[in-house]
Amino acid sequence: MMTSFGDNLKRIRTQLNMNQKDLGDKLGIGQTTIANYEKGVRFPTGELLKRIGEVLNVSIDQLMGHQVVNTALESEALDLSIFNEELKKCLIEGNEQEALYRIWQLNPSKENISIIYEDILLKVLVEIGQMWERGQVNVAVEHFATQVVHKILSMMSTITGEVPKGKHRSLCMSFNSEPHTIGMRMISEYFSLLGITSYYIGTSVPTDSVIKMLKNKKVDILALSATMSYHLDGMKNLIEVIKRDPGLKSLKIIVGGQAFLYEQDRWKDLGADGYAKDFLSLKAWLEEERFIGGY
Ligand code: B12
């Protein structure tokens, strides 16, 4: 049987005669954080997990209680459909630690992050959504899966944070009361990976606050996301207000999200400067607009 990360951490720490505070001090974190790891209510980010292994002189696999399996994305042995099926199982069964660990084991890097987002997380979420529609999982399970994906995105931001940033800045938000925020959050991480500083502000932010932030942070790309098509009229109003503001003349607005999937030309009617359906088309737009690509 697999033992949990928390149990292993406690066992290895006590074998080394270290108390929670000693370990916390060595890692530069509080004793309560260690206590929460051991209780299984929190889980460290990829970078911290690596440092815990170094301080305790054990491998990550020993900490996780796993046998070493090579799941790196580069490995030809990795079958994404099997990987996704197993990840989906972890999410449905409430096994958060295992889900985080499986992603961490793919060695996320700026080369494979778009695969992790679009070919793994997006697909698994959509499948769980379909299971919910068929009544195979309840809404609590769907919400749980979403929260774990948010944690995975936080873990991934330790990689995007390492990329040197250029002079451009983006502000990313889901429009109005849109509850679907994961796509926008992924896109925000993707901006960071491309060397564009990105401010992700979630959803339901009043227009005057958005405008203040655009100006204060000297943002040059505003990215807006909508999943439900009933948000598009409101998005049009916001874009009109922004386009009328003399202080925001050079700002470019890109829109995206599932609301545009069946009406791909709708962005023109909204007054936006561009639309992208995924990471690759966003990258192409950014190149076209000369935000990236060595200009
Ligand atoms: C998770 C989820 C939720 C979560 C969202 C949690 C969160 N914090 O995001 C919760 C549980 C809150 C939720 C609620 C609802 N949901 Co929902 N949800 C989903 C689900 C399963 C996954 C969505 C997701 O995160 N996908 C993964 C992301 C990465 O994909 P994405 O958003 O498309 O983003 C990608 C691109 O679109 C693009 N992109 C996105 N934004 C932007 C922006 C820019 C600028 C750019 C360039 C690109 C870009 O980049 C991303 C990467 O490629 C989908 C199923 C599906 N088929 O998608 C249903 C789905 C979207 N939900 C749906 C519905 C109906 C609802 C509810 C109305 C259900 C209800 N009856 O209560 C409510 C909304 C209530 C409300 N107040 O409006 C429908 C929408 C159908 C429609 N369009 O009319 C779907 C499609 C399920 C279905 N088949 O019925 N949902």
CB-ligand 1 contact for 127 (6 Å cutoff): no
Integer Cα distance of 149 and 189 in angstroms: 13
Q: What is the mean pLDDT of residues 279-294?
A: 89
3-class SS string, the chain: CCCCHHHHHHHHHHHCCCCHHHHHHHHCCCHHHHHHHHHCCCCCCHHHHHHHHHHHCCCHHHHHCCCCCCCCCCCCCCCHHHHHHHHHHHHHHCCHHHHHHHHHCCCCCCCCHHHHHHHHHHHHHHHHHHHHHCCCCCHHHHHHHHHHHHHHHHHHHHHHCCCCCCCCEEEEEECCCCCCCHHHHHHHHHHHHCCCEEEECCCCCCHHHHHHHHHHCCCCEEEEECCCHHHHHHHHHHHHHHHHCHHHCCCEEEEECHHHCCCCCHHHHHCCCEECCCHHHHHHHHHHCCCCCCC
Residue 210 scores a pLDDT above 60: yes
For residue 59 the two structure tokens come to 């491998």
Return the best residue to mutate from 258, 260, 287 for the ligand 1 pocket (most ligand atoms within 8 A of CB).
258
What residue ranges of the chain are covered by domains with CATH 1.10.260.40?
A: 5-64
Residue 212 scores a pLDDT above 50: yes
CB-ligand 1 contact for 170 (6 Å cutoff): no
CB-ligand 1 contact for 46 (6 Å cutoff): no
Each residue of 92-115: pLDDT tens digit? 999 998 999 899 888 887 777 878
Q: What is the mean pLDDT of residues 210-221?
A: 97
Atom 72 in ligand 1: which residue has the minimum CA distance? 139
**pTM, 2 dp:** 0.79
Q: Please, which pLDDT band fits residue 48 given cuts at 50, 70 and 90?
A: confident
- CATH class of the 5-64 domain in this structure: mainly alpha
What residue ranges of the chain are covered by domains with CATH 1.10.1240.10?
A: 80-160
Q: Please, which pLDDT band fits residue 3 given cuts at 50, 70 and 90?
A: low
The reply to whether CATH 1.10.510.10 applies to domain 80-160 is: no
Q: Please, which pLDDT band fits residue 68 given cuts at 50, 70 and 90?
A: very low
Return the best residue to mutate from 180, 254, 267 for the ligand 1 pocket (most ligand atoms within 8 A of CB).
180
Mean pLDDT (the chain) is 88
CA atoms within 13 A on the CB side of 248: 23
Residue 247 scores a pLDDT above 80: yes
User: 36-40, 48-52, 66-70, 74-78 — which is least confidently predicted?
Assistant: 66-70
Each residue of 12-24: pLDDT tens digit? 898 888 999 999 9
Atom 21 in ligand 1: which residue has the minimum CA distance? 129
Residue 67 scores a pLDDT above 70: no
- CATH class of the 169-288 domain in this structure: alpha beta
What was the pLDDT predicted at 181?
93
Q: What number does the ligand 1 atom closest to the CA of 172 have?
A: 45
What was the pLDDT predicted at 69?
40
Q: What is the mean pLDDT of residues 183-202?
A: 92
What residue ranges of the chain are covered by domains with CATH 3.40.50.280?
A: 169-288
Q: What is the mean pLDDT of residues 182-188?
A: 94
